[in-house]
Chain A
């Protein structure tokens, strides 16, 4: 794999590869520039007819106009003047059938894909570890057709048997019981590999990144992962993917640095 590849770059490329043909609206929330880049990459290649919601604007980049760089912040000064529509936050929640794809970051994730972004509650109330908050995770994960879990770390304190507090309900059985309209988590990306949720809803290794061993991922995970007999390697970025990402989407190199 390209040695100078930033973790954000690999994440963007892996996400862009996984979007499905039926994904028409891809919405990106706070502090996930790799997901922003992935949506833009897909829009420029496999999904020319998708709407991508980046900050305040609804974009379609296939119109031939200059592609804006991946921004460090979700909202930026010219956002309202770009794109073909504006993103009104309350209107997003007034038409929950629209968003197909969403992205979920977490402080903790568990065996069945529940995510905690609010924090780890203390014994006597309050917080042992306070996170940023729910953002729109509870709502978007309930409704959207599928979402991707993006974990910035992979260790036994973040990959736990049971999250301390559920912000996004990933548990397939519980979601079915509650008759959620959305499809639940599709993939989980960590610095060590790509994971999905098998028949019984348990997290399973799909591919491991270059240089990562099965022993290493087992050691870094606080529960028993489902491990297939043969664990494939994550397919490294192709020259075309890297060229698209670096020369058209992330021209400022934001994801290389992260």
Chain B
């Protein structure tokens, strides 16, 4: 009998093909937490196309969100944190854009992000949560609605589903069929992906399915998934293979702070050198240089 089924996943040799078309105004989830696991090869490819009015969902975001705002591509951010710890306690462009009202910030607790994504995956309009009751989060984010728990009569928050058009994710390994394995916990990425119509995974390595079969308990999969290869694709952030490039993050932070103060030249240079200049991830790595990468490899 002839097979008529759809493939369970897709491998694209070109990262740009895997990313596919991302319309202006799309709701895009970015994986990783703080300065780790950020799918930067995909983020840079996306920004290179100069999209407009994106809604970014970054539960615990870093300077990737800041970069996207600096590139003029962001209308709204759903988040519990945007910064880079000791390098930038608050991301500079994010702070300035929020203060100027250029970007709408939808403030959530990290747990709200978790259950909002879970509600989307479960096809529910919301899930209830206690954390945040008694705080001013519902005041600054009216999408969080306090309601009376029908069981106990006590107040709870309804956290609305966070539905994504697209989830961008970094993993250590994947195969051509969209079987994805993380080193470690994979942050909130599996949950982020379950809330998305389409998942794009950049993997450190693409492996044969026999390799995946050696540890099936570690495999994650979703319905619509494209995988592509992006070695050291989290740079300047950490993965299982490289440490965070804090010097690079300091250069970015300094440029972004100058731009906030009115001198955008350094930031323009940064964007040109790291986002718009390199035609693809390989060109980006070449610009970073093998010497720097070698210093960061664990």
Q: Are A and B associated in one complex?
A: yes
A residues at B contact (CB < 8 Å):
30-31, 33, 56, 72-81, 86-90, 93, 118-119, 121-122, 125-143, 165-169, 171, 174-175, 178-180, 258
Q: Report if B2 contacts A (CB, 8 A).
A: no
Contact: A72 with B85, CB < 8 Å? yes
| Contact call B81/A132, Cβ cutoff below 8 A | yes
Interchain nearest-CB distance for B63 vs A (Å): 12
Q: Which residues of A contact B240 (CB under 8 A)?
A: 77-78, 80
Q: Is B64 an interface residue (CB 8 A)?
A: no
State whether the Cβ of B9 lies closer than 8 Å to any Cβ in chain A: no
Interchain CB contact (< 8 A) of B89 among A56, A132, A179: A132
Contacts of B134 in A (CB 8 A): 142, 166, 169, 171, 174-175, 178, 180
A and B contact pairs by CB, cutoff 8 A, 13 listed: A30-B34, A31-B86, A77-B238, A80-B184, A118-B136, A126-B100, A132-B81, A134-B80, A138-B112, A142-B132, A142-B133, A165-B139, A171-B134
The complex places the Cα of A88 from the Cα of B298 at a distance, in Å, of 22
Number of A-B contacts (CB under 8 A): 179
* Contact yes or no, A87 B185, CB < 8 A: yes
- How many chain B residues touch A (CB < 8 A): the figure is 62
Chain B neighbourhood of A138, CB < 8 A? 109, 111-112, 131-132, 135, 137
**Does B83 lie within 8 Å of A136, measured CB to CB?**
no
User: Please, which residues of chain A bring their CB within 8 A of the CB of B185?
Assistant: 56, 80, 86-89
Residues of B within 8 A of A56 (CB): 36, 184-185, 187
Check A133/B135 contact, CB under 8 A, given A72-B85, A75-B36, A77-B239. Answer: no
* Contact partners of A77 in chain B: CB under 8 A: 36, 238-243, 298
Indicate whether A127 sits within 8 Å of B98 (C-beta atoms), given known contacts A88-B185, A137-B109. Answer: yes
Bound CA span A171–B134, Å:
10
Task: Give residues of chain B (218-256) contacting chain A, Cβ–Cβ below 8 Å.
Answer: 238-244, 246
A167 to B108, CA, bound (A): 10
> From residue 122 to 140 of chain B, which have CB atoms closer than 8 A to chain A?
129-137, 139-140
Cβ-based interface call for B16 (8 A)? no
Docked pose: A33 CA to B99 CA in angstroms = 28
A residues near B129, Cβ cutoff 8 Å = 139
The interface residues of chain A lying within 8 Å CB-to-CB of B187 are: 56, 89
| Contact assessment for A134 and B34 in the assembled complex, using a CB-CB cutoff below 8 Å | no
The 5 lowest CB-CB distance pairs between A and B, nearest first, are A80-B184, A139-B131, A75-B36, A136-B110, A139-B111
Known contacts A31-B86, A80-B183, A86-B184, A133 near B79 by CB under 8 Å = yes
Q: A93-B115, A139-B131 are contacts. A126–B101 as well, Cβ < 8 Å?
A: yes
How far, in whole Å, are A127 and B101 apart by their CA atoms in the complex?
8
The reply to whether A166 and B36 form a contact with Cβ atoms under 8 Å apart is no
Residues of B contacting A179 with CB < 8 Å? 154
CA distance A252 to B81 in the complex (A): 27
**B81 A30 Cβ-Cβ under 8 A:** yes
> 8 new A-B pairs (CB below 8 Å) besides A80-B240, A167-B137?
A73-B244, A90-B188, A118-B136, A130-B95, A136-B131, A143-B131, A178-B133, A179-B154
